[in-house]
Amino acid sequence: MREIIFDTETTGLDPATGDRLVEIGCIEMVNRVATGRTFHEYFNPQRDMPMEAERVHGLSIAFLSDKPLFADKAEALLEFLGDSPLVAHNAQFDFGFLNHELAQCGLPGVGDERMVDTLVLARRRHPGAKHTLDALCSRYGVDRSHRTLHGALLDAELLAQVYVELTGGRQIGLQLAVDNTVEGPAAQTRFAPKIGEYRAPRPHAASAEELARHAAFLEKLDSPLWKS
């Protein structure tokens, strides 16, 4: 099963008020293993960068000024995404910006039926705990020491590791039961145990002939300790 884990960086929180997408990072996974294929682009938002947003991801307008527009890379992005499920943390946010940018280009958006939200998965699996990407990395032992600022591709790489753990870990095939708390495309990655035909226990008691051969063998031993 092919899945795309992705993350975005933006100028703010709401595309409806003029905020734009400035970075996207995508990781391809097949059967929950990263293939090494990625898609990563920075975009010129054609507007200013609020200081609050720059503090989060470190992307200045000076850095982004010579980067392509989203429209210049939209077709290549859609080709990479294909029709695969899209995994993101707080996916409503990322889908909102992605679909807003696609609409600005006159392209169809990505349907919510393809959405796999790891924030929802984390809340179901660990109710009452912290569910930030940093907190989940700590919970599952994912090394984030090189993450000093948010970055779309780096965060997608971390999320890919967290997603594997959230959906059963690398040893998913050793589970003894199905986890029915996971829904949507992610549920297709769950292990479903097969129930085979009943087999009666194999007889394991020694036969009379075997007991006789054993007794004959013992008679050949010279003063065995267990007979003293």
- Ramachandran quadrant class, 162 (left: phi over 0; alpha: psi -120 to 50; beta: rest): alpha
Alpha-carbon gap, residue 120 to 184, rounded angstroms: 11
pLDDT at 168 over 50: yes
Look at the alpha carbons of 179, 186, 161, 60 in this order and tell me if their dihedral is positive or negative.
Answer: negative
pTM score of the predicted model: 0.73
- Ranges of each domain in the chain: 2-189
Among the listed residues 18, 66, 17, the one whose alpha carbon sits nearest the alpha carbon of residue 42: 66
pLDDT at 169 over 90: no
pLDDT of residue 191: 41
Which of 146, 150, 204, 214 is catalytic? The answer is: 150
Structure tokens that stand for 104 in this block: 């600005």
Q: Say what angle helices 70-81 and 91-104 make with each other, to 10 degrees.
A: 120
- 211 burial (CB, 10 Å; 0-12 / 13-18 / 19+) is exposed
pLDDT in tens, 60-115: 999 999 999 999 999 999 999 999 999 999 999 999 999 999 999 999 999 999 99
The fold of 2-189 is Nucleotidyltransferase; domain 5 (3.30.420)
pLDDT of residue 149: 72
For the chain, give the mean pLDDT. 87
Alpha-carbon gap, residue 72 to 60, rounded angstroms: 20
pLDDT of residue 158: 96
Sheet holding 33-42, edge to edge: 33-42, 21-30, 2-10, 86-88, 115-117
CB 43 within 8 A of CB 67: yes
pLDDT of residue 180: 46
pLDDT of residue 192: 44
pLDDT in tens, 36-59: 999 999 999 999 999 999 999 999
pLDDT at 181 over 60: no
Alpha-carbon gap, residue 55 to 113, rounded angstroms: 33
150 counts as catalytic: yes
Confidence grade of residue 174 (pLDDT, cut at 50, 70, 90): very low
pLDDT at 12 over 50: yes
Confidence grade of residue 228 (pLDDT, cut at 50, 70, 90): low
Alpha-carbon gap, residue 191 to 171, rounded angstroms: 10
Look at 50-54, 129-133, 214-218 and tell me which has the smallest mean pLDDT: 214-218
pLDDT of residue 179: 47
pLDDT of residue 172: 45
